[in-house]
Amino acid sequence: MSIKKVLLSSVLILSPLAVAAEDLTIGFSQIGSESGWRAAETTVTKQQAEDRGITLKFADAQQKQENQISALRSFIAQGVDAILIAPVVATGWDGVLEEAKDADIPVILLDRTVDASDDLYLTAVTSDLVHEGEVAGQWLVDETAGAQCRIVELQGTTGSSPAIDRKTGFGNAIAGHDNLEIVRSQTGDFTRSQGKVVMESFLKAEGGENICALYAHNDDMAVGAIQAIKEAGLKPGEDIKIVAIDAVPDAHLAIAAGEMNATIELTPNMAGPALDALEAYLENGTVPAKWIQTESRLYTAADDNQAIYEEKKGLGY
Ligand code: AHR
């Protein structure tokens, strides 16, 4: 029986709604596979659904918002019980979210936020994206301890909430520290390949010896940039300090090798809390919160990064 039919019968007989997870069919609109973190989130989401006996319809948007909107419309037409979406950019969702609402299909946002009224979705499971940038900026403030430092920044996908918020957070943290200056800032689209290409252009434009630090909005771009720094004859992690976000296994490996300095963890398990919230909603009509916040932990060379790498390998990455 579909959830809508169960809902209807529960209303009619005025009894509490109990919905078995194995009766659920959920659509998941994923952005693509731009980063190691994204691939892990996909793996973990599929695993979470399978463990609960949920049927998951998966759609890869290949980084395009129009593909995500089409996927949502297709899920709505198929009458799924709920939709998970990792929205590639922050704006332009109102219309399709209204359509889902009109069809009584709850939508849960994963890992990124949208600029839309929060009554258009059930809940959002994300980190505090501004805070992540602040942690990265504060790490650099402490690390440089007042020494002059020219920073280059690799931004995430233009218009995405992590790119906007991580930039804002980093700016908040370094504001008032006159020794710190962002001299170049450009998107690397959250990919390793673009991280390398854009870092090469930064090194060429500034001269490697004039760059003191790199702030990358994700680890994949930092790993690409490390390659560019090495090819320029410099030592990443020493000549150019590197702080990024995600804490994927390769970042721990780079920190263990002294080629990167810090990363802030973003769990790829957004689906666990999201499906818990959905099940609670279907059971008793409530959600724990409009925003379910995941933790943001800083890792540095002070941690046993080799051991963490071994531990994390195989956790969906
Ligand atoms: O929205 C989360 C970000 O998207 C991750 O930090 C990044 O790796 C991914 O592509």
Q: Give ranges for CATH 3.40.50.2300 in the chain.
A: 21-127+267-294, 129-266
Q: Residue range 56-82: average pLDDT?
A: 98
Tell me the CA–centroid distance for residue 154 and ligand 1, in Å. 13
Sorted by sequence, the CB contacts under 8 Å of residue 97 that are 6+ apart come out as 107, 114, 116, 120, 121
Half-sphere exposure of 56 (CA within 13 A, CB side): 22
Q: Residue range 90-105: average pLDDT?
A: 98
Tell me the CA–centroid distance for residue 15 and ligand 1, in Å. 42
- The region that residue 316 occupies, defined by phi over 0 for left and psi between -120 and 50 for alpha, beta otherwise, is left
Tell me the CA–centroid distance for residue 49 and ligand 1, in Å. 21
Tell me the CA–centroid distance for residue 38 and ligand 1, in Å. 6
Query: Does residue 180 surpass a pLDDT of 90?
Result: yes
Task: Provide the CATH topology of domain 21-127+267-294.
Answer: Rossmann fold (3.40.50)
Q: Residue range 217-243: average pLDDT?
A: 98
pTM for this one?
A: 0.94
d(CA 109, CA 112): 7
Count Cβ atoms below 10 Å from residue 222 Cβ, excluding itself: 33
Coil, strand or helix at 315: coil
Q: Residue range 174-202: average pLDDT?
A: 98
Q: Which of 161, 190, 193, 294 to mutate to test the pocket of ligand 1 (most atoms within 8 A of CB)?
A: 190
Please give the pLDDT value at position 48.
97
Give burial (CB, 10 Å; 0-12/13-18/19+) of 250.
buried
Average pLDDT, the chain: 94
Q: Which of 129, 246, 250 to mutate to test the pocket of ligand 1 (most atoms within 8 A of CB)?
A: 246
Closest CA to 247 of 178, 159, 308: 308
Please give the pLDDT value at position 19.
63
Q: Residue range 229-244: average pLDDT?
A: 98
- The residue whose C-alpha atom lies closest to atom 2 belonging to ligand 1 is 111
Closest CA to 86 of 71, 74, 101: 71
Query: Does residue 203 surpass a pLDDT of 80?
Result: yes
Rounded percentage of the chain residues whose pLDDT exceeds 90: 91
Q: Residue range 22-46: average pLDDT?
A: 96
Class of domain 129-266: alpha beta
Please give the pLDDT value at position 20.
72
pLDDT band at 60 (very low <50, low <70, confident <90, very high): very high
Tell me the CA–centroid distance for residue 35 and ligand 1, in Å. 7
Please give the pLDDT value at position 23.
87
Please give the pLDDT value at position 33.
96
Query: Does residue 5 surpass a pLDDT of 90?
Result: no
Residues with Cβ within 6 A of ligand 1? 34-35, 37-38, 111-112, 162, 190, 218, 220, 245-246, 266
* Per-residue pLDDT tens digits for 140-158: 999 999 999 999 999 999 9
Q: Record the tokens describing residue 96, joined without a space.
A: 């399709």
Query: Does residue 138 surpass a pLDDT of 90?
Result: yes
